[in-house]
Chains A and B, each alone.
Chain A
Amino acid sequence: MCRIGAIKSLNYVHPSMALQLMQSQQKGHDNSGFAMVMHDLGGIFEKYKHLPTLSMAASDEGVRQAEDILHQAGFQRVLQWVPETDNRPGLDINAMPNYVFETFDYPKSYRNAEQKVKEDLLLDMRLKLRDALEANEEGFVYSFWPDVVTLKEIGNPRDIGTYFRLWEPDSTFTAKVITTQCRQNTNYDIVRYAAHPFHLQGYTALANGENTFYLKNVEFQRKLHRGYIGFESDSQCFLYSLHYVHRELGWPLRYFKDVVTPLPFAEIEKRDNAQQLKAIRQSLGHLEINGPNTIIGVLPDNTLFTCCDAKKLRPIVIGRTADTVVLSSEVCGINEVLPDRDWETDIYPHEREMIAIDDNLEVQRWNQ
């Protein structure tokens, strides 16, 4: 079983907090990888929140190819940050030669373009880069989006932390939202793209469980959007459903829950909005999930949320202090990073609940 975690804070926090959050839960995962997506960036990226940052692990050739493609398209690099690595012998890490975070300015012709046009351009560029680097496995392009960075590696999370020097807190590499998970794919092949969290156009999702409606989801999602690709893991389906419901259909977040775990028909009939709930269940039946799952997601406005499968077969706990909210599969993770919180205010969501935390750390609880 996976363990998943997320931190949302009023202050910029360093990934070491995410490592600590997950380290205490290590008996519950198999220490086969480490992945995190950071939103609302601080440190060296703080000045560039409006510009897209490329997160990529690649060979030398891969880096060259990616940069060529971006330059050709008119993107201009404004910042490059290559984490200083600690390559001491004996570390359990299967790292690519380069891990780069590069921030680019938009091509001149796009600088005054509408937001949506820019967002489509960024997606198309990421897909193009991924496609170009995939052929010879020259590299893995995880995200290309403003105010978002992604780090994914195969190996022991403790050693990955050591390698990237993430155990030593500093102020250069921080964010207000960090989502993280410590396990490589187990159901399918081990490939870097299969490690959640997954990111698409400002949306991030990660999950603990198994989506037994994977095939139904995949077959439907393939035709919904050009960005819905890969499907190396069943958890990617959650991201695509979230993106589709919230961005493409423009529905409020709470309806994501009605799509993935619709109410039973008998229950729908009793509701005032039965007509809408039924229409959702009918038209989006192929995005329903089944099996045990807990989902954590982040929206483009940095709202952090969580919800579970309809039978609540996977755990999640939410712990809070005045300036930080932590989501974790196991409460021991929260105890580690927020030892002084009032644990009586911890939230254990139920199967029909959706919990969202906004930028003021206000916690909203919606019953489905």
Chain B
Amino acid sequence: MESMRVQDVTPNDLPWKIRYDAHRCTLCGSCVAACSFRAIESKVEQRRLIFSEGEFPEPKARFSAVPVIRQVKSFKNYCRGCGICEKICPNDAIAPVRNPDSRHPIITRCLGGDSIKRGGRKNLESTVRTLDKLRVGRISQMTDPSLDAQRHTFDMLAPFGRILPPQKLPMGVGPDGLLQATGTTPPVNWVYPVIIGDMSIGALSWRMWEAVAMAVAYLNEECGLPVRMCSGEGGVPVRLLKSKYLKYMILQIASGHFGWNRIAKAMPHMVEDPAGILIKIGQGAKPGDGGLLMAQKVAEHIMAIRGVPKTDLLSPPNHQGLYSIEESVQKMFLSFNAAFKFRVPVAIKVAASATSVSVYNNLVRDPYNIVGGLFLDGIDGGTGAAHEVSLDHTGHPIVSKLRDCYLAATAQGRQGQIPLWAAGGLGKTGDLAADAFKMMCLGANGVFTGKLILQMAGCVGNDQGRCNACNTGLCPVGITTQEPPLVRRLDPEKVAQNIVNYFLAMDTEFKKLMAPIGNSSLPIGRADALVATDQAVADKLQIQYVC
């Protein structure tokens, strides 16, 4: 009889348990080979069979050694519930099962002595999402006709760039009685109101990143949708920097400045300007926590693009050298505006926070008009890697904060001058058009999305703790890994096709939402088109309560 050691890790301590049916298993080994986390292994079990062959009971025992698949009892190589084993098993002999009795958060800290890190989104249970308590409730019927989503034309573009108040437009009436420009205005690019959010090459596999870039090029060149993609902080392949497709890219710089050596060196060779520059100050999923690319993901090509050795790559939580918003405006914005000779709009991305309105007010009152957009990222945003405590317990929901910023601008008559872009859990239910539309009615000029793009590519992670292993470099579907065998699981062409198709579907759905409220251009700030089924939500967002 074996002795029991209380401190041993057993599958019952882990978040997922493997359900294995030895009778169905053909021992093909596919599941073990496919499990990127090494959470299952083949083992030999001793079996004892008691049997009797005569007419009368004459029990005999037979021992045998049987090969089986077993779960690894380790707090490091534990099952993430990704389900790849189930997907690959020809006989339905194996699958992960969620373990409600998991002690994982405790034993990992006890045994590891370090904070838990993971990817994905906030995993805490939440109530019904705010956006799901809102409906497009002002329908055009008799007094004004609704439009026809199929027949009418719709103008669905959003500004990226600083917009001058009308009285400051450098225009005068010429001798011919027409308006003429008497000066220059800040650059503004009008783009599709959904930007593909900033996910770096490094956080993503090269195939995934390339697939997104391909989808964006296709949407622009073939579908007529001016969708833009943000590079994330991690550089851009030089080939792309020097190509005409650079015009579809928003280049990001964050506190690590990763990849900017190459970008700066490529500038003289650029044949197109990038669509914009996005300065990342904070991220909604982990506000106050900087970028984090674990060493296991820093493959050779990442080292080359970023110009770094193989080590954990941390972007500090704040930009070194910037101690105030004035400095930020003067140093960073001005230098990036100047770098591209004031032809490329420069925007800022911050995590939604109780202080967002102050930040917005500071930017919108800056007299130099150089901040071309506020990207506000809420708590439900995703991340490639973060400390779990940051992910689950820091941050601010996006919906009310976006509304606060819009109303602050409205109170000053400055709405629209710095376009507002919102993100953080939008499209979480798979329905980005509805979420984006509601955010626009509340005042967003557009939205950006990252996690949903990964889900289009085949990401199996969810907000109930499934997978969320982007930080490990062991992504089982080849999206957030740099391991060649795993990356090859991803078919970039198929991914690009999925993204293109999703955008086309979403475009139709936007029209299906604009038509009933009778609008042919985006209803930015049309909060009167929304109703709330929750009184508190209605009060906070200043919209009509209905029941």
Chain A residue with the shortest CB-CB distance to B411: A223
Report which B residues bind A (CB closer than 8 A). Answer: 140, 143-145, 147, 152-153, 155, 157, 159, 163-167, 169, 171, 173, 177-181, 185, 188, 190, 410-413, 415-416, 517-521, 523-528
Knowing A215-B526, A219-B410 are in contact, say whether A292-B164 is a contact too (CB < 8 A).
Answer: no
Contact of A255 among B152, B179, B518, B523 (CB under 8 A): B179
A184 nearest CB across to chain B (Å): 14
Knowing A252-B177, A265-B157 are in contact, say whether A210-B143 is a contact too (CB < 8 A).
Answer: yes
Contact between B410 and A279, CB atoms less than 8 A apart: no
Chain A residue with the shortest CB-CB distance to B412: A223
Contact between B188 and A282, CB atoms less than 8 A apart: yes
Contact of B163 among A224, A276, A283, A292 (CB under 8 A): A283
Report which A residues bind B (CB closer than 8 A). Answer: 186-187, 209-210, 212-216, 219-220, 222-224, 244, 248-252, 255, 264-265, 273, 275-276, 278-280, 282-286, 288, 290-292, 310-311, 313
Contact between B518 and A284, CB atoms less than 8 A apart: no
Contact between B144 and A249, CB atoms less than 8 A apart: no
Contact between B145 and A284, CB atoms less than 8 A apart: no
Chain A residue with the shortest CB-CB distance to B168: A283
B57 nearest CB across to chain A (Å): 88
Knowing A210-B144, A223-B412, A291-B144 are in contact, say whether A265-B155 is a contact too (CB < 8 A).
Answer: yes
Contact between A283 and B164, CB atoms less than 8 A apart: yes
A37 nearest CB across to chain B (Å): 24
A223 nearest CB across to chain B (Å): 3
Residues in A with CB closer than 8 Å to B415 are 219-220, 286
Contact between B140 and A212, CB atoms less than 8 A apart: yes
A9 nearest CB across to chain B (Å): 26
Instruction: Please name 19 further chain A to chain B contacts, defined as beta carbons within 8 Å, in addition to the given A220-B413, A279-B171, sorted by A numbering.
Output: A213-B519, A215-B528, A216-B525, A220-B410, A223-B410, A244-B166, A251-B173, A278-B190, A280-B169, A282-B159, A282-B416, A283-B164, A283-B169, A284-B166, A285-B416, A286-B525, A290-B518, A291-B519, A313-B145
Contact between A288 and B140, CB atoms less than 8 A apart: no
A252 to B169, CA, bound (A): 15
Residues in B with CB closer than 8 Å to A285 are 163, 416, 524
Number of A-B contacts (CB under 8 A): 106
Contact between B526 and A273, CB atoms less than 8 A apart: no
Q: Which 6 residue pairs spanning A and B have beta carbons closest together?
A: A223-B413, A210-B144, A291-B144, A283-B166, A215-B528, A282-B163
A215 to B529, CA, bound (A): 10
Residues in A with CB closer than 8 Å to B416 are 282-283, 285-286
A70 to B415, CA, bound (A): 38
Chain A residue with the shortest CB-CB distance to B173: A252
A253 nearest CB across to chain B (Å): 10
Contact between B177 and A212, CB atoms less than 8 A apart: no
Contact between A310 and B520, CB atoms less than 8 A apart: yes
Residues in B with CB closer than 8 Å to A215 are 525-528
Residues in A with CB closer than 8 Å to B143 are 186-187, 210
Contact between B165 and A283, CB atoms less than 8 A apart: yes
Residues in A with CB closer than 8 Å to B152 are 311
Contact of B520 among A244, A283, A311 (CB under 8 A): A311
A222 to B190, CA, bound (A): 27
Residues in A with CB closer than 8 Å to B527 are 215
A245 nearest CB across to chain B (Å): 8
Contact between A291 and B140, CB atoms less than 8 A apart: yes
Residues in A with CB closer than 8 Å to B167 are 248-249
Contact between A216 and B166, CB atoms less than 8 A apart: no
Chain B residue with the shortest CB-CB distance to A292: B144
Knowing A249-B167, A255-B179, A283-B164 are in contact, say whether A214-B528 is a contact too (CB < 8 A).
Answer: yes
A278 to B152, CA, bound (A): 22
Residues in A with CB closer than 8 Å to B140 are 212, 291
Residues in B with CB closer than 8 Å to A210 are 143-144
Residues in B with CB closer than 8 Å to A224 are 413
Chain B residue with the shortest CB-CB distance to A277: B179
A216 to B524, CA, bound (A): 8
Knowing A224-B413, A252-B173 are in contact, say whether A219-B144 is a contact too (CB < 8 A).
Answer: no
Residues in B with CB closer than 8 Å to A249 are 166-167
B36 nearest CB across to chain A (Å): 45
A210 nearest CB across to chain B (Å): 4
Contact between B179 and A251, CB atoms less than 8 A apart: yes
Contact of A212 among B179, B188, B190, B517 (CB under 8 A): B517
B203 nearest CB across to chain A (Å): 33
Contact of A275 among B155, B181, B411 (CB under 8 A): B181
Contact between B526 and A213, CB atoms less than 8 A apart: yes
Tell me which of A212, A215, A244, A291 has the highest count of chain B C-beta atoms within 10 A of its own C-beta. Answer: A212
Tell me which of A223, A252, A284, A291 has the highest count of chain B C-beta atoms within 10 A of its own C-beta. Answer: A291
Contact of B144 among A212, A248, A255, A275 (CB under 8 A): A212
Chain B residue with the shortest CB-CB distance to A285: B416
CB<8 Å pairs between A and B, sample of 14: A212-B140, A213-B526, A215-B527, A216-B523, A223-B412, A223-B413, A279-B185, A283-B163, A283-B169, A283-B416, A286-B415, A286-B525, A291-B518, A292-B144
Knowing A216-B526, A285-B416 are in contact, say whether A290-B519 is a contact too (CB < 8 A).
Answer: yes
A219 to B411, CA, bound (A): 8
Residues in B with CB closer than 8 Å to A219 are 410, 415, 525
Residues in A with CB closer than 8 Å to B155 are 264-265
Residues in A with CB closer than 8 Å to B169 are 279-280, 283
A223 to B415, CA, bound (A): 10
A214 to B528, CA, bound (A): 9
A67 nearest CB across to chain B (Å): 35
Residues in A with CB closer than 8 Å to B159 are 282
Chain B residue with the shortest CB-CB distance to A1: B143
A284 to B413, CA, bound (A): 12
Contact of A276 among B177, B181, B411, B525 (CB under 8 A): B181
A364 to B520, CA, bound (A): 28
